Structure 1
Amino acid sequence: MIDFLVIGGGVAGLSAAAKLSEHGAVTVLERESNVGYHASGRSAAMFEETYGLPSTIALNRASKHWHLDVAGARGTPRGLMLLGSDGNEDAFAHDMKAMAMARMGFDEARGLIPVLNPDTVTQTAYHAEAWDIDTDAVLQRFIKIIRGNGGQVVTDAAVTAIAGTAQGWQVTAGETYNTRQIVNAAGAWADEVAKLAQVHPIGLQPMRRSMARVAAPEGHNPAKWPMLFGPGETWYAKPDAGALLISPADEEPVAPMDAWAEDMTLAEGIARYEAHVTTSVTRMLSNWAGLRSFSPDRNLCLGASERPGFWWCAAQGGYGFQTAPAASQLIADLITGAPSELDRDTIAALDPARFR
């Protein structure tokens, strides 16, 4: 009998399993052949404390020490720069305030990003408190903890049936697993997993987000450039191993799937970036898309379902890596009955009961 069966091998599931492995026997089931295959493997890989709704920011703040000092992100500073142009002054002011940024003069901004276009960039703001995350290292750290505590991570294990038993649950995923508790961390498929267990779905909506990896501007090394983004999160660009990642920050509602990027969507993101710089994108190196899955109110869903022993760890909506340390601690605290360091309002905002 397994104490905790976690369905989903992305950052949400692996972090929850790592915390729960301190309290009992844990097994993680991942439907794909590799962990972190979908959303977790297609992350922009940033930690920004002020990014998200209030409940998300609370999780970010509770996760900050882990990311910066335990996982070592403090050694990889990135910074954020907001670029405004004529017509988006209100959105610029909103984002600058929401993300605790400070206005920066154009000359100073161009000192950081030499390709900024003085004819189109009318406002700039900067925030140094943002760091790169080594997403693979984070996943492997959680796996090491799970295995070190006697747990296991099983891949190629798509869940096809869930039934309640006198002791808890029986889950079919090729093999049969008997467990006392289930943690549903199935990402875009979390509602489908819930239905198998006859648990009321939360109304999860996967949203496709596309990314192009392009060659750096000729004659420039962007390694130390901050991440760039447009007001209202209409696009962003981020250095990546000598190249640039560019996204139109699209949110297209789709069914759970292995997402792919569409050419016109990628072109739109590149055009939005090019409108703010003096150089053109000459070569696309690769592209992909991932799914950011949101609850109806865009808060994460962390907590109990209406059926005893079935727990939600879902609706990360693009904040999975940022929030994972604190989100997984909250799941472990709720399941084991330990007091949480998070305030009651935050816990209530995250409680899946709000959708029942």
Structure 2
Amino acid sequence: MTTTYDVAIVGAGMAGASLAAVVAPHARVVVLEAEDAFGYHATGRSAAFWSETYGGPDIQPLTTASGPFLHAGGHLSPLGSLHIGRAEDEAAIEALLATFAGSDVMLHRVDPAAFVPGLRADWTLAVHEPSSAYIDVAALHAWSIAMARNAGADFITGAALIAATHADGRWTIDTAAGGYRARLLVNAAGAWSDVVAARAGVRPLGLQAYRRTMAQVRTDPGAPSDLPHVADVAGRFYFKPEPGGRIWLTPHDEIPTAPCDAAPEEIDVALAIDRFERVVDWRVDAVERRWAGLRTFAPDRLPIYGFDPRVPAFFWCAGQGGFGIQTAPAAALLAAGELLGTAPDPAVAAIDPGRYSPRRF
């Protein structure tokens, strides 16, 4: 006999796993993962940093609210972020400071040459964000899965959703791993979220996946251990130090793509190196590793948390873009309150879930 769950979550990346960890103590949960490994796509390819300015002012409350949990769990390590620019980027620097002037985010204008040895002379502007930190993504994801399992959640791999139908107050879910039943169906399928919606008979919301390229390079000189995360205020690159004097860098590309197992293009790796060498006088000796991941956005680039207005038993947990890791703890609490119909957790009580509701579409 097929087990009937309270909640079936499609997707075991960070979004689905963190939501399962919060919901499983209160409901019977199954997590259906299409791949044979958890977090294979966006979660496993994250650049792994936490920045309160990343994603803009509509994302900052979720990031900031996630901070205490991430610190308490030992998932953050000091890093700091430096937003740099040239003379023509003065307006962008001022806009960054103005955007977060009324928030608790600490930002200070500084001399970038004091933070980045070998910085080329035309990079004269900078804003320092000292709170920015490394995230141990693997540990956070594994912790979420373990907490959900300890609370009784079942995780099924190789369970790509084929179809789902809703009748008589429950979903009948057909997957590559077999059939399941649940009262509520949660769409946490990342780049495949619109595909999952369509297979469940729910109107897609126009989510778009984008490819982001990353490369690990060895440089001469090697990156100093106290180098911060360095981001172009105009959004053309960022790079950050890694153990052994290595650098992770990206051309900050967003290439529209269908949901897929993303792979880097040589031209994008070359573009990343070119932009990096225009910032510092270091030489890139070798590209040791290159990869690409998918980041998926709604049309307005805000995440989507909430019940579909046309199919009330279908819950969206999608569109986290590039900030899904750093917002995961708060987003899971916010989404869980909406999903279970409970009072919001104190950590997110000041955040209006309405701004992320699918009803805006």
TM-score in terms of structure 2 length = 0.92
| Paired residue secondary structure (2:220) | coil
CA distance in structure 2 between the partners assigned to 1:234 and 1:95 by the alignment: 15
After superposition, the C-alpha distances for 1:21-45 in whole angstroms (9 at most, x for unaligned) are 0111111111111111111111111
Matches within 5 A, 1:160-309: 160-174=162-176, 175-218=178-221, 220-242=222-244, 243-305=246-308, 306-309=310-313
Which residue in 2 is equivalent to 1:64? 67
1:159 alignment partner, one of 158, 161, 182: 161
C-alpha distance 229-84 of structure 1, shift in aligned 2 (>3 A): same
1:338 alignment partner, one of 339, 342, 357: 342
Partner letter of residue 357 of structure 2?
A: D
CA RMSD of aligned residues (A): 1.6
Measured after TM superposition, the shift of residue 65 of structure 1 is: 0.8
After superposition, the C-alpha distances for 1:29-75 in whole angstroms (9 at most, x for unaligned) are 11111111111111111111232233311111221111111x2145x
CA distance in structure 1 between the partners assigned to 2:175 and 2:304 by the alignment: 24
CA distance in structure 2 between the partners assigned to 1:315 and 1:107 by the alignment: 37
Whether the aligned pair in 2 keeps the contact of 1:202 and 1:295 (CA below 8 Å) is yes
Which residue in 2 is equivalent to 1:94? 95
Query: 1:21 aligned to 2:21?
Result: no
Partner letter of residue 291 of structure 2?
A: W
Which residue in 2 is equivalent to 1:115? 118
Matched residue count: 348
Whether the aligned pair in 2 keeps the contact of 1:12 and 1:185 (CA below 8 Å) is yes
| Paired residue secondary structure (2:155) | strand
Whether the aligned pair in 2 keeps the contact of 1:210 and 1:265 (CA below 8 Å) is yes
| Paired residue secondary structure (2:230) | strand
CA distance in structure 1 between the partners assigned to 2:205 and 2:82 by the alignment: 35
| Paired residue secondary structure (2:284) | coil
| Paired residue secondary structure (1:268) | helix
| Paired residue secondary structure (1:282) | strand
C-alpha distance 269-107 of structure 1, shift in aligned 2 (>3 A): closer
Which residue in 2 is equivalent to 1:124? 126
Structure 1 stretches lacking a partner, 5+ long:
none
After superposition, the C-alpha distances for 1:1-21 in whole angstroms (9 at most, x for unaligned) are 111110001100000111110
Measured after TM superposition, the shift of residue 89 of structure 1 is: 2.3
Measured after TM superposition, the shift of residue 344 of structure 1 is: 7.7
Query: 1:84 aligned to 2:74?
Result: no
Partner letter of residue 89 of structure 2?
A: N
1:313 alignment partner, one of 310, 317, 320: 317
CA distance in structure 1 between the partners assigned to 2:240 and 2:112 by the alignment: 19
Whether the aligned pair in 1 keeps the contact of 2:209 and 2:297 (CA below 8 Å) is yes
C-alpha distance 271-97 of structure 1, shift in aligned 2 (>3 A): farther
- Structure with the larger helix share: 1
CA distance in structure 1 between the partners assigned to 2:212 and 2:340 by the alignment: 35
Partner letter of residue 57 of structure 1?
A: Q
Of residues 220-229 and 194-203 in structure 1, the stretch that sits farther from structure 2 once superposed is 220-229
Partner letter of residue 297 of structure 2?
A: F
Measured after TM superposition, the shift of residue 253 of structure 1 is: 1.0
C-alpha distance 215-96 of structure 1, shift in aligned 2 (>3 A): farther
After superposition, the C-alpha distances for 1:122-145 in whole angstroms (9 at most, x for unaligned) are 222212111111000001101111
CA distance in structure 1 between the partners assigned to 2:157 and 2:52 by the alignment: 32
CA distance in structure 2 between the partners assigned to 1:246 and 1:106 by the alignment: 18
Measured after TM superposition, the shift of residue 267 of structure 1 is: 1.2
Measured after TM superposition, the shift of residue 101 of structure 1 is: 2.4
Partner letter of residue 232 of structure 2?
A: G
Measured after TM superposition, the shift of residue 94 of structure 1 is: 2.2
Structure 2 stretches lacking a partner, 5+ long:
101-105
Whether the aligned pair in 2 keeps the contact of 1:216 and 1:222 (CA below 8 Å) is no
Whether the aligned pair in 2 keeps the contact of 1:58 and 1:346 (CA below 8 Å) is no
Whether the aligned pair in 1 keeps the contact of 2:173 and 2:181 (CA below 8 Å) is yes
Which residue in 2 is equivalent to 1:105? 111
| Paired residue secondary structure (1:313) | strand
Whether the aligned pair in 1 keeps the contact of 2:84 and 2:112 (CA below 8 Å) is no
| Paired residue secondary structure (1:216) | strand
Measured after TM superposition, the shift of residue 202 of structure 1 is: 1.0
Whether the aligned pair in 2 keeps the contact of 1:82 and 1:96 (CA below 8 Å) is no
| Paired residue secondary structure (1:322) | coil
CA distance in structure 1 between the partners assigned to 2:350 and 2:113 by the alignment: 45
Partner letter of residue 327 of structure 1?
A: A
Whether the aligned pair in 2 keeps the contact of 1:303 and 1:351 (CA below 8 Å) is yes
TM-score in terms of structure 1 length = 0.93
Which residue in 1 is equivalent to 2:103? none
| Paired residue secondary structure (1:124) | strand
